[in-house]
A and B are shown apart, each in its own frame.
Chain A
Amino acid sequence: MALTEENPGYKWVGTRPIRPDGLDKVTGKAQFGADLTLPGMLFGKVVRSPHAHARILSIDTSAAESMLGVKAVITGSDFPDLAANGAHASDIDVANNAIARDKVLYEGHVVAAVAATTRELAEAAAKAVEVSYEILPHVLTVDEAMADNAPLLHENMITKGVDPAPDQPSNVASRIVHERGDLEQGFGEADVVIEREFTTKPVHQGYIEPHAAVADANNDGRANIWCSSQGHFAMRAYTATVLGVSQGTLKVTAAEIGGGFGGKTVIYLEPLAVRLSQRSGRPVKLVMDRDEVFRATGPTSGTRIKVKMGISNGGELTAAEVWMAFEAGAYAGSPVGAAGMTVIAAYDIPHFLVEGYDVVCNKPRVAAYRAPGAPMAAFAVESVLDELARSIDMDPIEVRLANAAVEGTQASYGPKFPRIGFVETLEAIKEHPNYTAELGPNQGRGVAAGFWFNAGMNSSATVHVNENGTATVVTGSPDIGGSRQSMALMAAEELGIPYESIKPVVADTETVGFNDVTGGSRVTLATGAAVVDACRLVIEDLRARAAKTWDVEIDQVEWVDGQAQHVDGSQPPLSLNALAAKSGRTGGPISANASLNARGVGAGFSTQLCDVEVDPETGVTRVVRYLTAQDAGRAISPDYVEGQMQGGVVQGIGWGLNEEYIHDENGAMENPSFLDYRMPVASDLPMIECSIVEVPNPAHPYGVRGVGEVGIVPPMAALANAIKDATGVRLTDLPMTPIKVLEALNEQSD
């Protein structure tokens, strides 16, 4: 069988061995952030604002400090005032979000923290901290925040990206815009124009493991931190910023992590734990309960999005106009920028205007959630595209094929696309038997597509060859999606030794070079590239050792299938084992480092097919069949790639059908538990069928494209389109709960 790009004849890459972390996780031996116990350790408890917006008039910690077992109490005054030190605006926001200074901006905002000898004593002490507030009026949605005379969260917020700049502050932090061609001309050329408005609610990443951190501070200003995070180098940097210290004083170890999805790329507990440890002189553990995770950690934005699109009878999109407002929560920084860049990126549209607003409101600061910004934008555009297709009686896959971005298409956000696999995912759906499977009564079918850039960024890796011929692959990328296995597979492929001989390890900030966060679907690509580079350096060294052993020039030595071979076969081969065993004699231990800022990032596309059944008398929607086709470039670990595809789909289904933050009139969250914050349970869903499409990324040694995020982009629109097909009603407000479906059905029959 000839080796081709489609079949490169890999021995390990693309196989499905047993995952390295599975046994420890299912037997309870895996060490998560809350599992660490140190001698003398104290338990921390955070005091949080009960108000959505208030001025802090005074904090009296004296009662708490005098309680039995209490060893430290801290407030905002225990942290440097970064604004006074002329720090960057974004650093100031991080610091103020970590602990409030003069104002609280959301229910749950940190006001103080205590450390005591037991959990119960810490909880009692937290209750004893007396805070006096002046309650201020609050705003909860983009509509409220953008209204005339809305109460302001930040007195000095002048909208960026507006020309001329406004002369009055507002709750609008910034505006983004993308434009091409002439909208009037574009809509003029359309045979059908459809305009719709959509609203979505904040939803939480819903990781099963709440945030946890243990900090142990020394007397000389150094501190060790163990935490659940997607990037311990980033945690070190943010924590140092908030504490006002140099990064070099902090050592951070990433614990095993129980999910992040973007929500653990930011700090919450770490600076509090360090400061409490410094004040008390003992290690301090801080763990959030689920209530705190909901109230005080970033969900993703609620939004209002207006979309107007035009299509010709022949199926060509002629124009698109998009207006979006995204909730940022208490501080600027919603993902409206990425939303603006992805909203129509999958299609080649000659005339468009995309405008987006980043709006602050009295809710927890939003944090990244799997392809941040893209899912809401796609919900809107893919719904309208579905309507346009219906209006000209065109198949939903065909309408997307007719307009799909391909290699060379000028993306809506600027550059031309390199080789991409969108069309291949559309065709994978079209050719799958599910596309023509029979639908029963009250059932309907919907299609939607999605795009995500994926990221590259910085990674470092070290590969050591052990004396017994096995290899340790050390990286600094916390494993949230199977990266340890992918690293081991690529290393096995490079070195030519069995996968079982490779041990993948995630090291702390002192033991491995810098790594950006695990996120942005970047690790298999970027950290993988670093691992490959390090392996190649190791191989060069192994060739040199063999050359020395045989007393020949290095160009006489090849590395094949895990052994050094003489080019003309005049020497018996030397295995990795043999070379490792006597490495001391040939120059010393064998290991190599590689660090890089990754290049050649390949974008990801996903097309999804959803069949639903809607009970016409109760409005309950059940997903009966779901197929996702995603371009993975090359699936290094197909098991994990499918896991990422399915995970994204399931989160999108929850977002589309039942998940939402519900607030009362005081701005307090009403459903901060999994009972009433309704994520899908296993019995809610059919098997999510996966079709892994491989259009290799030409710029990566193994053709990798990131896979973690794009899967969450299409599901909400796929569901809305399927519900429309089943019932005739078009829902434009998420989540599409049974109550909303029944209301729409009632209206339809009136």
Chain B
Amino acid sequence: MAQVYFSAGLRDLTGGVAQVDVQASNVRRLIAALDEMFPGIGERLSEASSVAIDGEILTDAEYESVPDQAEVHFLDILQGG
């Protein structure tokens, strides 16, 4: 099971829930599973996010595998200069 954390900005879609445990082999499946739990969150997560898996921040990470016990955070896409 991966531990997924929701930032404050996402909690309007999770009804205030800040953390859930989810089983999924990769990020895409993780988002799909989350969307079943919290309808509508899938679009938001796919659209605007980078993902941090065990502290490593990744972009375009849909097919990234999600290790068991991994800590997963969804972040806004960042722009550098």
Interface residues of A, Cβ cutoff 8 Å to B: 161, 163, 175-179, 205, 261-263, 265, 335, 337-338, 341, 368-372, 413-418, 453-458, 517, 519-522, 597, 599-601, 699, 709
Contacts and interface: CB of A to CB of B under 8 A. Distances in A.
Given A161-B9, A415-B73, A520 B79 contact: yes
Nearest to B73: A414
Contacts of A454: 80
Interface residues of B, number: 22
A256 to B, nearest CB: 19
Given A522-B80, A600-B56, A414 B75 contact: yes
Nearest to A414: B73
Nearest to A164: B12
A56 to B, nearest CB: 30
Contacts of B65: none
21 contacts: A175-B9, A176-B9, A176-B76, A262-B79, A335-B79, A337-B76, A337-B78, A338-B79, A368-B79, A368-B81, A413-B75, A415-B54, A415-B55, A416-B71, A418-B56, A456-B57, A456-B59, A517-B80, A519-B81, A520-B79, A600-B56
Enumerate the 5 nearest inter-chain pairs by beta-carbon distance, A residue then B residue, closest first. A520-B80, A262-B81, A414-B73, A415-B52, A368-B81
Given A369-B81, A520-B79, A416 B55 contact: yes
Interface of B: 5, 7-9, 12, 52, 54-60, 71, 73-76, 78-81
A416 B73 CA distance: 10
A368 B80 CA distance: 7
A709 B81 contact: yes
Nearest to B59: A457
Nearest to B79: A368
B80 A521 contact: yes
Nearest to B57: A601
A371 B81 contact: yes
A521 B75 CA distance: 18
A341 to B, nearest CB: 7
Given A413-B7, A454-B80, 20 more contacts: A163-B12, A177-B7, A178-B9, A265-B79, A338-B78, A338-B79, A368-B79, A414-B52, A414-B73, A415-B52, A415-B55, A415-B75, A418-B55, A455-B59, A455-B80, A457-B59, A517-B80, A599-B56, A600-B56, A601-B57
B12 to A, nearest CB: 4
Contacts of A338: 76, 78-79
Given A261-B81, A372-B81, A454-B80, A599 B58 contact: yes
Nearest to A368: B81
A165 to B, nearest CB: 10
A341 B52 CA distance: 14
